[in-house]
Structure 1
């Protein structure tokens, strides 16, 4: 991948991390809720997007990226617990982990033995 493209992807990933963290600490807007677990779907979707963006930026570091995103999700939940208007929820973190699971195929592919390798 050209260096300039990798740099753009990495900057986009960093900007997305900052934006998600800031949005996670703002008061919750009143939204139409279609299903009772819509919040969990949103968490999984956001973390799947972050995972794919991070994987595009650092394709050789899927495992580290997964661990870092799980820690990032936990940090968000801890930070939310310190606000008076948000609440840290371990189920939200589990939904984050479901989103990070999109990295599993990349992790499995990296661990496959190469043909002919002894």
Structure 2
């Protein structure tokens, strides 16, 4: 079952890459640094996703997602039509740190909870 969760997480990453590389992204609402909020929020979700899958390896999750974030910024920079921004990478990494801290502090394993409920309804 964990392979399914992992595959869904990879789809989530692909959606993020698409959002980062789309030629004409939706316009910003005019709020200063709103894009940093968007980046951080996206990586809160990804950090919560992969952090729950790998509860015993939060540092590995942080490193891999931070490298993924850096890669998306490099792809934007290389695209010629989007701008890579180191501050976006920092916002992404901060989002991962926040989600991992919350998972650790609350001891939440939402993946295991869902799997238990699915198993209970099948029996």
- Is residue 52–residue 103 contact of structure 2 (8 Å, CA) maintained in 1? no
1:104 counterpart residue number: 101
Distance 1:98 1:91 in 2: 10
2:118 counterpart residue number: none
2:8 equivalent to 1:8: no
Distance 1:72 1:30 in 2: 22
1:67 counterpart residue number: 63
1:46 counterpart residue number: 42
TM-score (normalizing by structure 1) = 0.79
2:31 counterpart residue number: 35
Select 1:23's aligned residue among 19, 26, 29: 19
- Is residue 43–residue 96 contact of structure 2 (8 Å, CA) maintained in 1? yes
Q: How many equivalent residue pairs?
A: 106
Distance 2:104 2:54 in 1: 13
TM-score (normalizing by structure 2) = 0.76
Change (3 A) 1:32 1:50: same
